[in-house]
Chains A and B, each alone.
Chain A
Amino acid sequence: MSRDRASRRWPVIVTILIALMLMMIPLPNWAESFRPDWVMLILIYWAMMLPRTWSVGYAWIIGIVLDVAQGTLLGQHAVALCFIVFITVRFNLLLRVFPVSQLTATVFVLLALYQFLLFWINGVAGVTAPAIDYWAPVISGTVIWPAAYMFLSGVRYRARSRA
Chain B
Amino acid sequence: MVASRSNSSNPARIPALGVRVLSLIFLGIILMVLDHRENHLNTVRKTIGTAVYPLRVLVDTPFRTWEWVRETTTARNTLQLENSHLRTQRLLTNARLQRLTALEAENAHLRDLLEARAQVRDEVRVAEIMAVDANPYRHNIVIGSGDLEGVYDGQAIIDADGVVGQVIRTDRHTAQAVLISDPGHALPVEVNRNGLRTIAVGTGELDRLDLPFLPNNADIQRGDLLVTSGMGGVFPTGYPVAVVDSINRIPHEPFADVTATPEAALDKVREIMLIFSTDAAADSTSDADE
| Interface of A toward B, CB cutoff 8 Å | 1, 4, 17, 20-21, 23-27, 29, 32-33, 35, 50-53, 55-57, 60, 63-65, 68-76, 78-79, 82-83, 86, 89-93, 96, 121-122, 125, 127-130, 133
Contact = CB atoms under 8 A, between A and B. Distances in A.
Given A78-B28, A93-B11, A71 B135 contact: yes
Contacts of A74: 31-32, 34-35, 41, 44-45
In the complex, the 7 A-B pairs of residues with the closest C-beta atoms, listed nearest first: A75-B31, A79-B28, A129-B137, A75-B28, A74-B35, A75-B32, A86-B21
Contact of A79 (B29, B131, B133): B29
Given A52-B7, A90-B17, A72 B24 contact: no
20 contacts: A4-B4, A17-B55, A21-B59, A23-B133, A25-B132, A26-B63, A35-B133, A52-B14, A56-B21, A69-B134, A71-B140, A74-B41, A78-B31, A79-B25, A82-B24, A82-B28, A83-B25, A89-B11, A89-B17, A92-B11
A32 to B, nearest CB: 7
Contacts of A93: 9, 11
B208 interface: no
Contacts of B48: 64-65, 68
A138 to B, nearest CB: 13
A96 to B, nearest CB: 8
Contact of B136 (A32, A50, A53): A32
A141 to B, nearest CB: 13
Nearest to B36: A125
Interface of B is mostly: helix
Given A25-B59, A27-B133, A52-B14, A71 B32 contact: no
Contacts of A127: 137-138, 184
A128 to B, nearest CB: 6
Interface in B30-49: 30-32, 34-36, 41, 44-45, 48-49
Contacts of B28: 60, 63, 75-76, 78-79, 82
Interface string B121-134: 00000000001111
B35 to A, nearest CB: 4
B289 interface: no
Contact of B137 (A4, A64, A133): A133
Interface string B262-275: 00000100000000
B138 A71 contact: yes
A121 B7 contact: no
A35 to B, nearest CB: 7
A71 B176 contact: yes
A57 to B, nearest CB: 7
Contacts of B204: 130
A32 B11 contact: no
B137 A56 contact: no
Interface in B248-285: 267
Given A74-B41, A74-B45, A90 B11 contact: yes
B23 to A, nearest CB: 10
A158 B83 CA distance: 54
A53 B8 contact: yes
Given A25-B59, A56-B21, A71-B140, 12 more contacts: A24-B133, A29-B206, A29-B267, A32-B136, A51-B11, A55-B17, A69-B52, A71-B168, A73-B32, A75-B28, A75-B29, A129-B138
